[in-house]
Structure 1
Amino acid sequence: MIVRPRLNWFRMLFVWHGSVVGNILPPLGFILLISLAATLGRQRYEALHLHLNPVPFSLIGVALAIFVSFRNTASYERFWEARKQWGQLLNHSRDLVRLASVLPGLAYGDPALQRFVANLIAFTHALKHQLRRTDPADEMRRLLGQPASDALLARHYRPAHLLRVLNADLMAWHREGRLSDMFAVSVQRHLDGLSEILGSCERISSTPIPYAYHVLLHRTVYFYCALLPFGLVDSIGWATPVISVFIAYTFMALDAIASQLEDPFGNEPNDLALAALATNIERTVLETVDAPDLPPLPEVGHGYHLN
């Protein structure tokens, strides 16, 4: 995720990081070459010039803009839904620890509460690694220790296993009399919330926008931008390269942004900063139980990229 200070209108024109310009420079260069060829061909080889009416391009451009906006809306809805789920993850984690920390006989020095907190934090990091398809071994060993982490890493659905462990701990406290019936209902509600978050994130991650729709829109944008100079050259002449590249930039950039937002859990500059979100949840949980050592705050990396 790109996190940078708000810029004035002039500096915003020259922003590079997070603007997807780098992703579309090669096709923009290709459109520029086609535009120059169309313009030069009209000047030097009038007999070979394709006389295309710009009216169909205007109609197609309007329809294409509507379709591109639909795709961007669908991609942004996936991005925002993912962000809301991680916001709920923070809320449920904080409330779970708050309820557990006031149970009779439990303070952070108690091994039972320490284990519960560690498993809850491990759930957040395990979910992050599952969504990004990265190796969670180092963080699981840091949080759970060698024996517990080895048992967890041997499983495929690690967040689901951690939920079962958390539920078993809470049921044990209920049997011991530490957790009243009223508290048990409240705690179970938050555990169910974590399970719903896990399912929602898995749904977003495993069900992309239909590939055929993506290919159709991608092809249409690129063919339209490649043919556009031939429809403009009769009316605007030498301004064709500038106008064609500008229109191509608009359509291609929207297509590239939609492709990034479609998978909000990735590592692209405009994806969610899952590592920073997981660290903030860990800090919040530990601070709730007055733990002495907190992990450092997430830092913005090169190009204002927060991972």
Structure 2
Amino acid sequence: MIVRDKPSILSIFFIVRRASGSMLVQIYPQLLLVMGLSALVVLGHRHAPQFVPVVSSAPFALIGIALSIFLGFRNNACYDRWWEARKQWGELVKACRDLARQTLLLEGRAGTRGVDVRAALVDHAIAFTYALLQHLRPGEDEQRILERLPKAIHGRFRPNRNRPDFILREMGAILATAYRDKLISDIEFSLFDRTVSQMASVHAACERIRTTPVPFAYTLLLHRTAYMFCFLLPFGFADLTGWLTLFAAGMVAYTFFGLDTLGDELEEPFGELPNDLPIAAMADTIAIGLREALGETDLPPLPIPVDFVLM
């Protein structure tokens, strides 16, 4: 996610780096193609108008309005996915903090047994957070997960296809054992189970977002219409604006292709592009908070943006 101060009016025109929020790097080939075609249309209309005719510009206004509405609809759908994913990770932050606070009631119960159960639950919550990160963004380091889990279950953890769900089951087993040993009451068990269920709900919601993309027909229709509109646009304005058609068509192409590319990035909020969610940073933030709740002092610093990007 791009994190930066609002640029000044002057500097906003000189932002071209992708990490700074500009879409220019991704779409400049399309812009050059549209502007190059515009130059050929203007040149051809001036020297061979019988072969390069110019049509009325009125239809382009109607098509442009319709295309803008459809583009806005798709971008809203993609942003809804991005925002829903952000809300779910916010719920995970809350659930983990609730768990760390709720487990304080285990302190002092059955000697050190209560302390051990509290540490196990909080460690599993840390492992769950990193396992969910790895589940949504494959390739993340699994060592941070294993170091929070008992070595006895490492062999059962690795073969699991859904590792976050495995850790939630282990948390359920810890709670069931504590309830059977009368370390917690039935009301306290329900309290803990509700918090673990909130973590499971976040897991399920994130899987839903990751495995259910925006219908491909929307993307295909938008791509085709945007390209056809931008390629035909010079034929409607070459006679009216002359060489300024290059810049007019370029500006329209920059807007349409830029919004289209931004929608593609927002559609996959758990990726590793600059506009995707910083779930790795949020996982580190959760882990640091839980470790601090356990009384650990050798903690890393909180994540900060690097070149305006927080991942």
| Normalised-by-shorter TM-score class | over 0.9
1:253 to 245, 253, 258: 258
Letter in 2 for 1:10: L
1:216 to 217, 221, 226: 221
Length-normalised TM-score, structure 1: 0.94
Aligned position for 2:310: 306
Letter in 1 for 2:12: M
Aligned position for 1:23: 26
Deviations 1:19-61 (A, max 9, x none): 2211101111101100111111122212212221111111000
Aligned position for 1:4: 4
Aligned position for 1:44: 47
Q: Helix, strand or coil: the match of 1:154?
A: coil
Q: What is the CA–CA distance in structure 2 between the aligned matches of 1:175 and 1:212, rounded to whole Å?
A: 53
Q: 1:134 deviation in Å?
A: 2.2
Structural mapping, 1:229-244, within 5 Å: 229-244=234-249
Greater shift after overlay, 172-181 or 157-166? 172-181
Q: What is the CA–CA distance in structure 2 between the aligned matches of 1:113 and 1:88, rounded to whole Å?
A: 21
Structural mapping, 1:154-173, within 5 Å: 154-173=159-178
2:277 to 264, 272, 279: 272
Letter in 1 for 2:198: G
Q: What is the CA–CA distance in structure 1 between the aligned matches of 2:263 and 2:13, rounded to whole Å?
A: 21
Q: 1:136 deviation in Å?
A: 4.2
Q: 1:220 and 1:84, CA in 2 relative to 1: closer, same or farther beyond 3 A?
A: same
Q: What is the CA–CA distance in structure 1 between the aligned matches of 2:113 and 2:73, rounded to whole Å?
A: 50
Q: Percent identity?
A: 38
Letter in 1 for 2:84: E
Cα RMSD of the aligned pairs, angstroms, is: 1.8
Asked if the contact 1:140/1:149 (under 8 Å) is kept, the reply is no
Q: What is the CA–CA distance in structure 2 between the aligned matches of 1:220 and 1:33, rounded to whole Å?
A: 19
Aligned position for 1:69: 72
Q: How many residues align?
A: 306
Deviations 1:151-203 (A, max 9, x none): 21111110001001111111222222222222222211111111111110000
Structural mapping, 1:167-182, within 5 Å: 167-182=172-187
Q: What is the CA–CA distance in structure 2 between the aligned matches of 1:55 and 1:30, rounded to whole Å?
A: 24
| 1:192 pairs with 2:197 | yes
2:96 to 69, 93, 97: 93
